[in-house]
């Protein structure tokens, strides 16, 4: 949309927004009216002189002076308008016409019967258009006062009035003056109407352009807001992925440390123990050899699980943990080892996650809890649910001897000593933590000597 200059804004449509403009300056060319006055005055000079010479044998200097004054005023107003003093030019033109008409009416003796009194009509029209109704009303009041004064002057015999026309035979002049006045007023009205119509069309067109530009700006703003929202969403996704990547990196480093411990500590220890068994010749050597073979198999299995670089995708679904816990207990108690342990499982332990992984998680935690408390007079393992900070958590609680700080520090070392000397290879707790972390949760342990151990975990989004 083209830019609107300061002059166009100052002299814009409609009239009344800026007091310093005249109607014809709405279109940047109020010199049109002054050119029209100049043209009419130039036409009137020879016409008045010729008509009066033929009818009266004189050129009628008062009438020529009136036309000449119009010509001079039109030229002066044209110059003033071109130099930017439009109000001065408009006021001078209207004032000159009004004063000249009044002087001529009195000097000629014709008073209100002079044709020039019709010049009051365009003066009023121009004043209303140029300066508004208030100034035009004041001018009409002054005009009426002058006409009343002419009336009383004619009634008192000081002015000839209509009798002067009859005596001097100037009815033609009167007719000519009326015709010229009406034609001039008509021309001014037509020009103003045409200009207003043109300006209105321009204003409507510009308004349409502004509306289209505003709609485009609003559309662009909406698109920008959408893009900004999308950018924020992508940024949030990137942050989430970055946090997940950081967590995965930390877990990978932790698993690598465990893998290193297996290779550097536990595997050589198992090999050394195997050599000692093979070198022994007592009757227990075969039993010890079988135990070390089992230990080696556990180590190899642990290495295989820790060394997995990829894991199958989670098959998330609504899962009832209660029957899964009962199935895990049946498996644990099948050999009769944990027959004396009482298991208390809450009903309706609802969760969402991978059914097979959650079943494996419960088996690992229940096995560790049962092993911890089986030496107690009344061993008990309780599986239930609760909440913390608005999140649902699940727990496996035993009434065993509990763990001290040193044991807690080594809890997730798969080959550290557990609750019993024979439980030297314990990959279950590590596997349990990995399953919880795969579900976006966290596995924690709360324990103290003589107070049992609670394993509790959350299951977040994948």
Total Cβ atoms within 10 A of residue 288? 16
Q: Enumerate the CATH 3.30.565.10 domain ranges in the chain, comma separated.
A: 314-462
Whole-number pLDDT of residue 197: 72
Helix 86-107 to helix 31-56 angle (10° resolution) is: 20
- Specify the pLDDT at position 221: 92
Is the peptide bond between 14 and the residue preceding it cis, with omega within 30 degrees of 0?
yes
In terms of DSSP H, where are the helices of 161-284?
Answer: 162-168, 171-261, 267-279
Contact criterion met (CB below 8 Å) for 416 and 426: yes
Q: What is the pLDDT of residue 251?
A: 72
Tell me the three-class secondary structure of 411-429, residue by residue. Answer: CCCCCCCCCCCCCCCCCHH
Query: What residues are paired with 353 via a beta bridge?
Result: 317
pLDDT of res. 420? 42
What is the Cα–Cα distance from 146 to 111, expressed in whole angstroms?
A: 10
For strands 380-388 and 342-345, give the pairing. parallel
pTM comes to: 0.45
Low-confidence residues in the chain, pLDDT < 70: 1-30, 32, 162-196, 255, 257-312, 413-427, 461-462
CATH 3.30.565.10 for domain 314-462? yes
Residue 121: in which H helix or E strand, if any? Answer: helix 120-131
Backbone angles phi, psi at 23, to 5 degrees: -55, -40
H helix or E strand, kind and range, residue 400: none
CB-CB contact of 387 with 393 (8 Å): yes
**Polymer length of the chain:** 462
Quick one: pLDDT at residue 311?
59
Considering only CA atoms, which of 60, 35, 159, 51 is closest in space to residue 107?
A: 159
The CA distance from 314 to 462, in Å, is 8
């Amino acid at each position: 949309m083209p830019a609107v200059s300061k002059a166009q804004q100052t002299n814009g449509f409609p009239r009344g927004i800026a007091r310093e403009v005249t109607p014809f300056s709405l279109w940047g060319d109020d010199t049109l009216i002054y050119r029209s006055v100049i043209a009419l005055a130039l036409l009137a000079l020879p016409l008045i002189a010729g008509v009066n010479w033929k009818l009266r044998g004189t050129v009628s200097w008062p009438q020529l002076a009136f036309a000449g004054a119009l010509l001079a005023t039109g030229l002066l107003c044209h110059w003033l308008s071109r130099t930017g003093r439009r109000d001065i030019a408009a006021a001078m033109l209207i004032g000159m016409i009004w004063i000249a008409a009044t002087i001529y009416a009195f000097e000629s003796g014709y008073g209100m019967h002079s044709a020039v009194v019709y010049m009051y009509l365009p003066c009023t029209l121009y004043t209303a258009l140029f300066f508004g109704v208030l100034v035009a009303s004041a001018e009409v009041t002054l005009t009426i006062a002058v006409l009343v004064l002419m009336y009383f002057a004619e009634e008192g015999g000081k002015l000839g009035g209509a009798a002067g026309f009859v005596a001097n035979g100037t009815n033609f002049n009167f007719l000519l003056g009326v015709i010229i006045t009406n034609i001039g007023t008509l021309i001014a009205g037509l020009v103003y109407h045409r200009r207003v119509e043109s300006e209105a069309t321009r204003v409507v067109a510009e308004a349409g352009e502004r509306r289209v530009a505003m709609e485009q700006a609003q559309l662009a703003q909406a698109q920008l807001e959408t893009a900004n929202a999308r950018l924020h969403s992508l940024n949030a996704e990137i942050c989430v992925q970055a946090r997940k990547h950081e967590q995965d990196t930390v877990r990978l480093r932790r698993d690598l440390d465990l893998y290193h411990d297996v290779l550097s500590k536990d595997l050589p220890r198992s090999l050394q123990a195997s050599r000692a068994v093979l070198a022994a010749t007592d009757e227990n050597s075969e039993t010890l050899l079988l135990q070390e073979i089992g230990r080696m198999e556990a180590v190899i299995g642990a290495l295989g699980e820790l060394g997995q670089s990829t894991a199958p995708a989670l098959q998330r679904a609504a899962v009832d943990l209660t029957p899964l816990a009962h199935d895990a207990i049946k498996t644990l108690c099948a050999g009769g080892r944990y027959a004396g342990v009482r298991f208390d499982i809450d009903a309706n332990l609802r969760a969402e996650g991978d059914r097979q992984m959650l079943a494996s998680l419960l088996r690992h935690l229940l096995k560790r809890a049962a092993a911890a408390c089986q030496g107690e007079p009344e061993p008990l393992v309780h599986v239930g649910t609760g909440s913390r900070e608005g999140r649902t958590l699940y727990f496996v609680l035993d009434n065993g001897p509990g763990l001290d700080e040193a044991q807690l520090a080594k809890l997730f070392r798969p080959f550290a000593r557990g609750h019993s000397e024979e439980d030297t290879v314990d990959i279950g707790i590590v596997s349990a933590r990995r399953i919880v972390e795969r579900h976006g949760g966290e596995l924690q342990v709360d324990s103290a000597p003589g107070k049992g151990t609670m394993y509790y975990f959350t299951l977040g989004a994948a």
